[in-house]
DNA sequence: ATTAGCACTCTAAAGGTAAGAGTGCTAACA
DNA sequence: TGTTAGCACTCTTACCTTTAGAGTGCTAAT
């Protein structure tokens, strides 16, 4: 890290040029090509010397003796932290993103899925999106609706405006009214509690106010409890997997298969994504967007984006990739994470600008939902 | 088709052997290897002559002059129609399937998704499953639940036991009671009608019984109508895409990408699958399973499975594949389709047996749901 | 009708060569 | 002392040639 300080201007220029060219061509870049393309004032011999030093410092690698250089993980890291010029998202794309996300105000998961589709479409890589994490939300409503004797729909509404439902079995003899009574009792007793605080015991004690025999209650209680808990189930949306097959790094069938197989383990990936934290000392605060709601008192409290490169990715099968993610918020709490995965040789500039813009757009939309939510809570009290 | 009649026993034997071997090895099979492996009583020269004739008849092809033969689409067709020996599904696999599908009695889409996962797991190919098609079902319940001012959950329950819901915007001033009134009016007016027969007009006239100003009603009506119609939206579940990368026919990146890209167009695939009909004159009735509910009076009224090979597949990007599908039923109507897609050189025997068994297991489970359903209807009247 | 034998064809693997891109090093230069 | 021209060297890639082998079709014998 402090190595980066020691890079003089020329080295930085050369490193940036190497990474830029390699991102573009996927071919090792040599000293001569570099001079030709970037009109450097230094000769190719000088650049050769500098590149040898950059290699010694660990920023570049050589596939074999007589080839050009390619960036190492460390080289990419320096590039994204200090060198990359983030372009503005084009007006058409901004328009496209805004327009496409506009009509999803009502359904949160729909919004996230669309955002995911947008990211894979506009970047040409694969996008991953995590449904919101709502453990800190509190229960607002729980309703049970009889579908037919023995089957019921449980609807759980959380403070974040999240609605989840689930079909469950209930005792055949239970009728619709009794079911509503139970739900009402649970709602009465538990609404306002966070999901974390709700246990089978609290559910049971709340339901005791429904004047029904315990034998009838038990199965229903359990299902209600599970339904509440399942509101927090993480879902992962993946879009544009096939995009990666375009890139030479995935022309090796084994790599492609490893990648696809790994993504098929959505539970694992979802777990990884939900545990990603911005606590990496190497991570710059990459602030470039003052409109962002994550900026407070001029200081960025959550970075606009986060990047994991190669070996930095904790998931075995994705070590040949780079992963650019960002969080989205509902009100003031981080709700979920959305990101783009692709080859390490990724067009970081474009990805960063697009992902930041999508993040911003999602947050704006979610703020509107959250505001509606606050109004609703005021009405309640 | 009548060509098949003209194939004598020896030709049939040889054709079957060629297809079997090619399925196993993915290498063109030659006359000598055939004799060695199958201990035919004929000499390789005889087999050569026969293979030349089979090629002239269109059942076999030669990649180049001095190579062995591979089956043509017509060859595969003859194989699956007349030659393949369908093995029984192994007891472990049968147990696995039954066990894995057992707990999904409550949720129909869950059942179908699990079945899809099972198929791709047990066959090693890619599975496709279509959610049930419910246009012929009739509306049983429609409920509206206020989430917060301005947002409501619409729940639609159909006769088939299908439950769909959707979050919609409603006028802010509408309260929970008014919403329930509207839903009750619509339910009162429309329950019993098939989805096909319900139009915006019928919804509107039903809702007129809710004593509310028309200005308030209109948006809600429209959303209710859309929710009812959307109950019929087809969803497609795809599992095990990465499996196909194991097969040499997909080692060509372009083919792999075409395949993945095509599958990403789920709307198109869903449309294709839902329109597949068992009206193919070349399609044998492939009856081999007398326990199947599709057999009536000893005659099979819907085939246990359907196979489309290569050019028979109407979807451009899947012409290098074979597609084995079957339908599942709810009560007595065909509800949806589930299938396996893979290389034309597919282990048809295993796929057919697994898919037939899964079909049967789904149908058994769905019959239970349907029975519950009928009870519920009796209770109603 | 079947089959042994043989000449022929074509592919895939192996080896050998040449071109080219890129390097590191040395020596000259400002 | 930092920079650069020049050059020998290395390594990969593409291309060509050769060879082995698998498989065929045809002919003639059974």
Is residue A338 within 8 A of residue A129, CB to CB? The reply is yes
Write out the residues of chain B at the interface with chain A, using a CB-CB cutoff of 8 A.
105-107, 141, 143, 145, 147-151, 153, 155, 157, 161, 163, 165-169, 240-242, 245-246, 250-251, 253, 256-257, 260-261, 264, 372-373, 375-376, 379
| Nearby residues of A96 by Cβ (< 8 Å), 6 or more positions away | A118, A122
Q: Minimum mean pLDDT among A271-285, B160-174, B189-203: which range?
A: A271-285
**What local confidence, expressed as pLDDT, does residue A381 receive?**
37
Decide if A169 and B105 are in contact by the 8 Å CB cutoff. Answer: yes
Once rounded to an integer, what is the mean pLDDT over residues A138-148? 92
Measured between CB atoms, which of B106, B242, B257 is closest to A167?
A: B106
B250 contacts on A by Cβ (under 8 Å):
253
Closest alpha carbon to A306 in A331, A328, A291, A290:
A328
Query: For residue A161, how far is the Cα from the chain centroid?
Result: 20
Residues A268-299 pLDDT 10s: 999 999 998 765 434 444 444 444 445 555 55
Distance CA B283, CA B277 (A): 11
Average pLDDT of the segment spanning B350-354? 97
Residue by residue, DSSP assigns A43-111 as -HHHHHHHHHHHHHHTSEE-SSTTS-BEE-HHHHHHIIIII--PPPPPHHHHHHHHHHHHTTSS-HHHH
Q: Write down the pLDDT at residue B105.
A: 62
Q: Residue B313 has what pLDDT?
A: 96
Whose CA is closest to A304, among A332, A328, A275?
A: A328
Whether residue B288 has pLDDT greater than 50: no
Is A46 a residue whose pLDDT tops 70? Answer: yes
Nearest residue to D6 via alpha carbon and C1': A45
CB contact under 8 A, B256 and A241: no
Chain B: closest CA distance from residue A368 (Å): 12
Q: Do B150 and A253 touch (CB under 8 A)?
A: no
Mean pLDDT on B346-355: 97
Q: Which nucleotides of C are covered by protein (CB under 7 A)?
A: 2-5, 8-11, 20-26
* CB contact at 8 A, A114 and A100: yes
- Least confident among A185-194, B97-106, B175-184: B97-106
pLDDT value, residue A92: 95
Q: Is the CB of A260 under 7 A from strand D?
A: no
Query: What residues in B contact A105, CB-CB < 8 Å?
Result: 169
Query: A23 and A347 in contact (C-beta within 8 Å)?
Result: yes
Give the pairing of strands A126-130 and A236-239.
antiparallel
pLDDT of residue A289: 42
**A161: which chain B residues are within 8 Å (Cβ-Cβ)?**
147-148, 151
Q: State yes or no: pLDDT of B185 exceeds 90.
A: yes
């Amino acid at each position: 890290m402090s190595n980066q300080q020691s890079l003089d201007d020329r080295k930085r220029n050369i490193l940036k040029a190497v990474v830029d060219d390699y991102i573009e061509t996927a071919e090792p870049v040599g000293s001569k090509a570099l001079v030709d393309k970037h009109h450097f004032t230094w000769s190719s011999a000088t650049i050769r010397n500098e590149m040898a030093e950059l290699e010694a410092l660990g920023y570049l690698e050589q596939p074999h003796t007589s080839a050009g250089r390619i960036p190492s993980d460390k080289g990419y890291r320096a590039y994204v932290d200090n060198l990359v010029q983030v372009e503005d998202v084009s007006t058409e794309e901004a328009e496209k993103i805004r327009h496409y996300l506009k009509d999803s105000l009502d359904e949160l998961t729909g919004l996230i899925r669309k955002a995911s589709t947008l990211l894979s479409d506009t970047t040409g890589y694969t996008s991953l999106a995590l449904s919101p994490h709502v453990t800190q939300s509190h229960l607002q409503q729980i309703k049970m609706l009889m579908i037919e004797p023995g089957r019921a729909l449980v609807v759980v509404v959380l403070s974040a405006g999240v609605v989840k439902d689930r079909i469950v079995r209930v005792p055949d003899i239970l009728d619709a009214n009794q079911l509503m009574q139970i739900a009402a009792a649970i709602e009465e007793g538990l609404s306002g509690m966070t999901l974390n605080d709700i246990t089978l015991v609290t559910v049971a004690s709340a339901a005791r106010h429904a004047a029904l025999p315990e034998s009838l209650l038990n199965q229903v209680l359990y299902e209600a409890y599970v339904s509440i808990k399942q509101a927090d189930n993480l879902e992962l949306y993946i879009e544009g997997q096939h995009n990666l097959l375009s890139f030479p790094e995935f022309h090796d069938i084994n790599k492609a298969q490893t990648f696809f197989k790994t993504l098929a383990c959505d539970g694992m990936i979802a777990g990884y994504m939900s545990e990603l934290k911005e606590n990496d000392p190497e991570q710059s605060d990459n602030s470039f967007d003052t409109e962002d709601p994550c900026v407070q008192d001029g200081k960025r409290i959550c970075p606009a984006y986060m990047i994991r490169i190669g070996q930095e990715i904790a998931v075995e099968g994705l070590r040949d990739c780079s992963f650019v993610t960002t969080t989205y918020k509902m009100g003031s709490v981080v709700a979920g994470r959305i990101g783009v995965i692709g080859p390490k040789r990724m067009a970081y500039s474009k990805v960063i600008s697009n992902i930041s813009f999508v993040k911003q757009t999602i947050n704006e939309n979610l703020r509107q939902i959250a505001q509606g939510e606050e109004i609703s809570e005021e009405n309640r009290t």
